[in-house]
Amino acid sequence: MIDAVIFDMDGVLLDSEEVWDAVRERYVRERGGRYDAEVQRAMMGMSSPEWSRYLHEHAGLTDEPETINADVVRLMLESYRDELPLIDGAVDAVRRIADVWPLGLASSSNRPLIETVLDETELAPLFGAVVSSEEVPRGKPAPDVYLEAARRLGVDASRCAAVEDSHSGVRSAKAAGMRVVAIPNPTYPPGDDALAEADVVLERIGELTPSVIDPQR
């Protein structure tokens, strides 16, 4: 029995992974740092304290992680204000699921970005708990952000379903003991080993219905 549903944001509600990649790549290269496939892969799923520290320690940026984080978030906000990269069908899917269950959000994005997205889409009132991984000790694939979202909802993690798109995200939700609905990101798809851990795999978020979340409902 499922008592709550927790959504990821980037890659599930927003087609934003490429935006993150482009913003960070431009930022790093303008400062003479290294940005390649290894750096990009390493940061997937990291919380903002983790990826900003990684860029400082491994990509050759001399600014302190706090400065890197603030600069990149500012650039992301500018990009979102120009055009919010919503995935087709995402808002309708969230509303459809919210008609049945309490909702949470567990995202690797910074809180200012999360709040901007929820305000722009008018989805904020539907989420009873919103957690950024910058607010927990470890980012995805550790389960911390999902466990905290479940705690704030007042629901046992084992009675939650998670909607995820990424390798680290699927691993994170599964490590929290949740039922996992995977909607693979076509640009940065999860590995086969992570997908094998998902309980359901969909092609697009438009396929997300209450019966997918809980077949026994």
List, for residues 151-178, the tens digit of each pLDDT value. Answer: 999 999 999 999 999 999 999 999 999 9
List, for residues 50-70, the tens digit of each pLDDT value. Answer: 999 999 999 999 999 999 999
User: What is the C-alpha separation between 141 and 45, in angstroms, rounded?
Assistant: 7
The overall average pLDDT reported for the chain is 95
Q: How far is CA 158 from CA 61, 71, 101, 181, 185, in A?
A: 41, 37, 15, 14, 25
Taking 90 as the threshold, does the pLDDT of residue 217 lie above it?
no
> Which pTM was predicted?
0.92
Residue 216: per-residue pLDDT: 86
Mapped onto helix, strand or coil, the DSSP state of residue 7 is: strand
- Please say whether the beta carbons of 33 and 59 come within 8 A: yes
Tokens of 210: 């209450």
Residue 140: per-residue pLDDT: 93
Domains parsed from the chain with CATH numbers: 4-15+85-213 (3.40.50.1000), 17-82 (1.10.150)
